[in-house]
Structure 1
């Protein structure tokens, strides 16, 4: 079976690309599976996340384009790749890509799986996600959500004609182990610097917490279009040198290993990979309890704190509590992996193989 993962640009460094590469790398190791990545375009010569050498990559365009402005041509190019390389199943790793894959099902016979990485209520970047979700409900061979809560939202709001599954993202086992660093004075956050991730709210929290703790530092990993505005706000709040936007880094594990806690300020999520990575490194987590995602990973009061959405005062108090209570941090770290088996890669790959087998029967 030839499985193609369809991406906007698989060379990017986001969580969607991360989990897609993880699943593809593991799938290609199974007998009977050929795996490829198909991107609208690739801005970088090499992907941020290492892709197995057995996996081929195809780009529909040689340079960055807005596919919707070349809609008919994009569908034609995708159809040509599907036919030329005999792709049996196309997994759209962003639901917005359904607009290109669903029209070519009939002419190619390819099976289409729509993989939701946000949640039903969120339409980041483009408002016509609402349209593609309804289209997928009618025409996709399967829909995969990241959480049972989001699966339920789909079932409540759409008339699903095919199968819908909830498969979580896998938790990557850190390359090296080690004990929780109780002496750390570094708070870590990570993600693309966009409105979704709420780093403007993070600065508000940092401005309440850091001035009282001059020996502590807060590091944000990741890049994005809001970086300049966020760094300007950081300076305005007098946090220069205390709250540091580090940009894209290739050694995130090193930061996780030496983090005292991980803080998530997202306005919405699917199932955030950064929380799974923090969990894998046994770091206490504090995050806004947005509609889907954090509550699947964090047990409030056990391995972290879930904060009512956008209550920066409450979040500041929780960060302050962990800063001043190392025993609490240590206790939460000891419970980080209590339910980790739900995110085991072998279990998740078996679920994906089940989906692939069922859509091709």
Structure 2
């Protein structure tokens, strides 16, 4: 896991308690442009996200994605069945069910055609490149004149 926050100590304690240190490591802050090419899949467990800059970066790096079908960020960047998979989500869902469904989607994604999902992420990222953004602004400014 990359990043750093207020739950880091609790997460490390949980990892240690469960004996999961061989396959879960807290890596702290890193330049994700150097990190993303090392992976096939980006997993987000965020249950609420605004624009989701890290999601956009993962899409730009051509990663397949798995995340909850929660408001805003995830459905913006995760196109279910195309560049990844959305996990059904509701605030009232049982936590064990959420974890189980997330695990199932991760396994399913890793057994899927990752190359096609990578290309779909690259294609989705194109709309966020500078020329496309400048054109969108130009159209908006012309429309409000």
Aligned to 1:316: 103
Equivalent positions of 1:240-319 (< 5 A) are: 240-249=21-30, 251-309=31-89, 311-319=98-106
Structure 1 gaps, min length 5 = 1-219
Normalised by the length of structure 2, the TM-score is: 0.81
The answer to which structure has the higher helix fraction is 2
1: distance between equivalents of 2:3 and 2:120?
Answer: 27
Output aligned runs, 1:65-104, within 5 Å.
none
Q: Is this contact kept in 1: 2:85–2:109, CA < 8 A?
A: no
Say whether residues 1:226 and 2:11 are aligned partners. no
Question: C-alpha separation between the residues in 2 aligned to 1:339 and 1:272?
Answer: 14
Cα deviation for residue 349 of structure 1 reads: 4.6
Bigger radius of gyration among the two: 1
Structure with more relative contact order (C-alpha pairs < 8 Å, separation 6 or more): 2
Q: What TM-score results when the alignment is normalised by the length of structure 1? A: 0.35
Q: CA deviation at 1:255?
A: 1.3
Aligned pairs for 1:1-361 (under 5 A) are: 220-249=1-30, 251-309=31-89, 311-323=98-110, 325=111, 328-349=113-134, 351=137
Residue by residue over 1:68-87, the C-alpha shift from the partner in whole angstroms, topping out at 9 and shown as x without a partner, is xxxxxxxxxxxxxxxxxxxx
Question: Which 4+ residue blocks in structure 1 deviate beyond 6 angstroms?
Answer: none
RMSD: 2.2
In structure 1, how many angstroms separate the alpha carbons of the residues matched to 2:117 and 2:51? 21
